[in-house]
Amino acid sequence: MTSTTATPRKRLFIRTWGCQMNVYDSARMADVLAPIGYAPAETPEGADMVILNTCHIREKATEKLFSELGRLREAKQARRAEGGEMVLAVAGCVAQAEGAEITARAPWVDIVLGPQTYHKLPEMVARASRAAGAVIETDFPAEDKFDHLPDAAAPQGVTAFLTVQEGCDKFCSFCVVPYTRGAEFSRPVAGVLAEARRLVAAGAREVTLLGQNVNAYHGEGPEGRSWGLGRLLRALAEIPGLARLRYTTSHPRDVDDDLIAAHRDLPQLMPFLHLPVQSGSDRVLQAMNRGHTAADFLRIVDRLREARPDLALSSDFIAGHPGETAADFEQTMDLVRRVGFAQAFSFKYSARPGTPAAGAPFQVAEADKDARLQALQALLREQQDAFNRSRVGMTFPVLFTGPGRHPGQVAGRSPWLQPVHLTGPLSLIGTEAPVTVLAAHPNSLSGLLAAGDAPYDVQPEEEPAPA
Ligand code: SF4
């Protein structure tokens, strides 16, 4: 393989698991490979390169990876039988954590690379074509990978993601991120603003800032001083054409006064915040090494709601962390009742190898974990339904993002991130328009345009499948 722009088009297939940061990283890997001739392909069959961008958060991540690698071994052999080659790369958090196991169990893998080394992909592809074994890059290099990545190439559409921070120093007992993504690192302000301007020029109206600990952001500002997330959001809000801002994922410990003030001052900052709490029991929060109490969380929520009264909250919960008693779990239920969440993600605890909680005593019995998760999810579902129903009759701006599922429909997002559907022209896409909500569904809303001489009919549709 060569590294000239005259290289003929080669087909690149990327399978992405996990969070939006992985989706963003996959797009950047495609960007970095484009100059050496790789263009996106829809399927792995017949591809010249396949990248599996993995996630270590969910259960059985490693097993899923190896069964996928088994299938790809056959695709690689078929490609070779046709006289071609398929470069097979494993990226992401599983690659970072289990690089040696991957090359031992799947020697047909050509490249293993961790999340901090994506800018080295073209060089690794060249090395892989010469090497006898796999090329492995799982260091946490001192240099900023963002300095070495090309400008984001592919327009993302009306809504776009922008990574501003990576890694985590918090070491929660159950989480692999600090081991797979390394220490907290923030992109300098200038690079973030430049990328945001490019996204807006390419059609983005809403930008979501991404980071494993996004509100721990402390990027270097143009004057050489560190900026927090609040200040960064204020600068982004000045970009003409950037109508909406969001950020995820936050940690309660890093919600500072300036960030709360940004929620009060910036109309572009949407009134919806994902703020993981994990548990309502101080005992469990301490065992989780979260660095905050339930009361701290409630105080932050109160202050945020004072600053932005229409703010709705989403959170993450773990049921059955080692040591959690029935009484601890009841405290989680109490916290949920006290806050009232518009949306939430809840999981039963499952051990991640190498994390402190995995080897902790007092693991909770599966049946108890199941029962607690069911009770928690029933309460959270009730709250989500109530929140969706509370929007019926309200009129608020919807940002239209694409066609709906049925002919004649357009789809968009409410300020609270709910999907909204109505019958209307595709020319609405990319614009914000006021919509009156007429019906709430489990995961979406439907309504009609509030402005104009001829409002569009309501056409509630079936619930879309969850993402
Ligand atoms: S703060 Fe979040 S990313 Fe960091 S260790 Fe805890 S759960 Fe993982």
> Alpha helix (H) ranges present in 139-188?
145-148, 177-180
- Whether residue 216 is found in the same domain as residue 301: yes
Distance 260 CA to ligand 1 centre (A): 21
Q: Which two tokens stand for residue 299?
A: 């105080």
The closest alpha carbon to 183, from 141, 121, 222, 146, belongs to: 141
Q: State how far the Cα of 42 lies from the Cα of 8, in Å rounded to an integer.
A: 18
Averages of pLDDT over runs of 10 residues in the chain (467 residues) are 54 89 87 87 90 81 87 90 90 85 90 85 84 72 61 74 92 88 91 95 95 95 96 98 96 97 98 97 97 98 97 96 97 98 94 83 92 97 96 96 92 96 94 95 93 42 37
Q: In what order do the strands lie in the sheet with 244-248?
A: 159-163, 206-210, 244-248
Are the C-beta atoms of 317 and 279 separated by less than 8 Å? Answer: yes
Q: Are residues 376 and 403 in the same domain?
A: no
Cα–Cα distance for residue pair 157/208, rounded to 1 Å:
12
Give the Cα separation of 464 and 446 in Å (integer): 12
Count: domains in the chain: 3
Q: How far apart are CA 52 and CA 50, in angstroms?
A: 7
Q: How far apart are CA 219 and CA 192, in angstroms?
A: 9
Virtual torsion, Cα 359, 363, 366, 371, nearest 10 deg: -130
Q: Which of 88, 111, 137 is the last residue of a domain?
A: 137
Contacts with 179 (C-beta within 8 Å, 6 or more apart), sequence order: 96, 97, 354, 355
Ligand 1 pocket member 318 (CB < 6 A) = no
Q: Is 177 in the pocket of ligand 1 (CB under 6 A)?
A: yes
Question: Has residue 238 been placed in a domain?
Answer: yes
Closest listed residue to residue 142, CA positions, set 183, 191, 180: 183
Q: 251: Cβ below 6 Å to ligand 1?
A: yes
H/E stretch holding 98 reads helix 92-105
CB atoms within 10 A of CB 322: 20
458 within a domain of the structure (yes/no)? no
Q: What are φ and ψ of residue 136, in 5° steps?
A: -120, 130
What is the value of pTM for the model shown?
0.81
Residue 294's pLDDT is what?
A: 98
Query: Which residues are CB-neighbours of 299 under 8 A, at least 6 positions away?
Result: none
Chain centre to alpha carbon of residue 57: 12
Q: Tell whether 189 and 308 lie within a shared domain.
A: yes
Confidence at residue 462, expressed as pLDDT on a 0 to 100 scale: 41
Task: Give binding residues for [4Fe-4S] cluster as ranges.
Answer: 19, 55, 93, 168, 172, 175
Residues 402 and 323 grouped into a single domain: no
3-state class (DSSP) for residue 245: strand
Both tokens assigned to 261: 């003030």
Residue in 93, 171, 278 to alter for ligand 1 test, most ligand atoms within 8 A of Cβ = 171
Has residue 463 been placed in a domain?
Answer: no
**Paired tokens of 164:** 């501003």
- Cα(318) to ligand 1 centroid in Å equals 13
The C-alpha atoms of residue 202 and residue 215 are separated, in whole angstroms, by 26
111 found inside a domain: yes
Among protein residues, the one with the nearest Cα to ligand 1's atom 1 is 170
Q: Which of 78, 106, 137 is the last residue of a domain?
A: 137
> Domain of 129: which CATH number?
3.40.50.2300
Q: What is the pLDDT of residue 64?
A: 86
Residue 3, pLDDT score:
42
What are the backbone angles phi and psi of residue 80, rounded to the nearest 5°?
Answer: -65, -40
In a domain, 457, yes or no: no
pLDDT of residue 4: 42
| Distance in angstroms (rounded) separating the CA atoms of residues 232 and 266 | 12
Closest CA to 363 of 400, 321, 405, 408: 321
* Whether residues 133 and 149 fall in one domain: no
In a domain, residue 466? The reply is no
440 and 368, same domain (yes or no): no
Range(s) of the domain holding residue 313: 145-390
Same domain, 252 and 353: yes
Residues composing the chain: 467
Tell which of 137, 160, 189 closes a domain: 137
Backbone angles phi, psi at 192, to 5 degrees: -65, -45
Per DSSP, what are the bridge partners of residue 423?
409
Beta strands in 282-414 (DSSP E): 312-319, 343-348, 395-403, 409-413
* 10-16/49-54 β-pairing: parallel
Q: Give the span between the Cα atoms of 18 and 2, in whole angstroms.
A: 32
Q: Is residue 128 part of a domain?
A: yes
Q: Are 25 and 53 in contact (CB under 8 A)?
A: yes
Please check whether residues 116 and 208 belong to one and the same domain.
no
User: What is the C-alpha separation between 337 and 389, in angstroms, rounded?
Assistant: 17
**CATH code assigned at 306:** 3.80.30.20
Residue 162 in 3-state DSSP?
strand
**171 in contact with ligand 1, CB cutoff 6 A:** yes
> In angstroms, rounded to a whole number, what is the distance separating the alpha carbons of residues 178 and 166?
10
Residue 465 included in any domain? no
Q: Is 96 in the pocket of ligand 1 (CB under 6 A)?
A: no
Question: Are residue 350 and residue 402 in the same domain, yes or no?
Answer: no
- First vs last C-alpha separation in the chain: 37
Q: Are residues 204 and 276 in the same domain?
A: yes
Quick one: 155 and 131 in the same domain? no
Question: Is 175 a pocket residue for ligand 1 (Cβ < 6 Å)?
Answer: yes
Residues 86, 165 within the same domain: no
Q: Omega of the bond prior to 332 within 30 degrees of 0, cis?
A: no
Q: Give just the sign of the alpha carbon dihedral 44, 45, 50, 56.
A: positive
